[in-house]
Structure 1
């Protein structure tokens, strides 16, 4: 069984949108989170989806899902105090309803520029290695600085990757890691891959293109609009 856990529990303060959270901003009358969910909805190997949502927006999300014909979202749960807590809320539902060998792809609700191949590659990577972390090669020089903002070394760019999403794991493994973190009163892990690494799991990567952006700022939204329109035009005109 393969499930997607879509994390959309943040309010998105950097987007400067006063009317609604960033995941519910619309492009062509469709919310960003719906664009994201549709990739998993349409994928033949995804069996079910759980969405972690800001509690006050759950009813709005239900209406948007119905409006857009989304059928694979089986559970919607409220977010927690931190990103880690929110993801745990989604994992808890999966743990209560799915086999422990279920593959879980954890993905940002505001990362809509993925595709079927990337989802497939993540599933296959988990099957082969138990973990999958989507990454993008670094294209610019990375420098390390000290507390005085003085550069003390440059990192070899060929070895650097930017961690993105989806991130895939077996349900038993990722849920167990979360339970261990909770037992240690840790609630602020940066992301799932970091947590798994900290608890001894080897991480294996799946590469994606640079267009797999997380929509965090107004500039990101305009990039999303341009790339989304370009994808649509290529389908229409056969480019």
Structure 2
């Protein structure tokens, strides 16, 4: 095997997750404001050593899946089976024509896998052909019989909690799954157990205590609290923009096309609301302003939709491991009247930024016929953004 193996990842997301409570399959519920499955898939989609990401989904969840993972790069999902084992087998068969060297098999309900764990998985599979991440057991474990009586106390030093991604040479784990299917064995709870049954020696490598599987409502509550505590660096930024009117028949304001007797004089589409929001977000990040990232002198931004600018600013927050807590825009103009358009603008900002509409505010005021806005020579906008980042000294 070469030093740079072709690596594929299977994301198992066909389960129903009934123990997690209401709200639909747990992999499509949100944790920290993002769908669980998006958090689970993104580290593999973004990892430079992973060539292929193969989701396994329930065919009833097509719309949920497409919405949850929009923007990620992955193969067409394969349909899952009645058991986890059957779903993994389906994913392996879907990858057979790609012939990867190594396959990583990961549960969609583990949304906190890191790039470091993925790297260790690939390295371990190269060396051993079959390896799983584990974490130490910190509590004393008891073996209890059907009457509720303790039968034994296993030696804790030998116990480990098995995690995913479990890593294998692709050819050997595919052969093991095919053999199990042919012999009617469908009772394995993870791929390591199936591999052991097939005669493989399964090694272990260092897992991550944070790489927990979400199973119960309490798991969701605990991890929400942990995420909130980890994003303790609360930042606020403000923005301001103004554009004069020129010839035209519409204005772009907060991502909404507004019919008007004039247009904006601007290099891009002149959306003062989104431009002010971009500056507010960049200000909270202490990362320059809109002009430094999208200079008006650059012809590629001529006539550009300001949606792209806001998406970029939001991406800068995500890249820092943060989230946006609140966005607010105040528009200053005599006309057009903003009130009837307020909800459409809030919705559009929410769609572009991924921030829930309940955390987006659009306000408006006039300047009492004073100044350039009062003379209807243009529109001004102020904005504020509150973001939360991981605390780094």
User: TM-score scaled by structure 2?
Assistant: 0.57
Match of 1:47 in 2: 51
Could you report, residue by residue, the CA deviation over 1:137-175 in whole angstroms, capped at 9, with x for unpaired residues? 000111223343322321111111011111010110111
Could you report, residue by residue, the CA deviation over 1:167-191 in whole angstroms, capped at 9, with x for unpaired residues? 0101101110011001101122111
Match of 1:209 in 2: 208
More helix by share: 1
The 5-angstrom pairing of residues 76-225 of structure 1 reads 76-96=77-97, 98-99=98-99, 101-225=100-224
The 5-angstrom pairing of residues 7-18 of structure 1 reads 7-17=12-22
Structure with bigger RCO (C-alpha 8 Å, 6+ apart): 1
Match of 1:70 in 2: 72
Contact 2:12–2:57 under 8 Å retained in 1: yes
Take 2:67 and 2:150, find their aligned partners in 1: how far apart are those partners?
A: 51
Match of 2:9 in 1: 4
The 5-angstrom pairing of residues 10-29 of structure 1 reads 10-17=15-22, 19-29=23-33
Take 2:45 and 2:125, find their aligned partners in 1: how far apart are those partners?
A: 20
Q: Which runs of 5 or more residues in structure 1 are unaligned?
A: none
Distance 1:15-1:48 versus aligned 2 partners, 3 A rule: same
Contact 2:136–2:159 under 8 Å retained in 1: yes
Take 1:83 and 1:229, find their aligned partners in 2: how far apart are those partners?
A: 31
Distance 1:193-1:56 versus aligned 2 partners, 3 A rule: same
Q: Which runs of 5 or more residues in structure 2 are unaligned?
A: 1-5, 234-320, 322-388
Take 2:32 and 2:155, find their aligned partners in 1: how far apart are those partners?
A: 42
User: TM-score scaled by structure 1?
Assistant: 0.91
Contact 1:132–1:168 under 8 Å retained in 2: yes
Once the 2 structures are TM-superposed, how far is the Cα of residue 232 of structure 1 from its aligned partner?
4.2
Once the 2 structures are TM-superposed, how far is the Cα of residue 28 of structure 1 from its aligned partner?
4.7
Once the 2 structures are TM-superposed, how far is the Cα of residue 230 of structure 1 from its aligned partner?
4.1
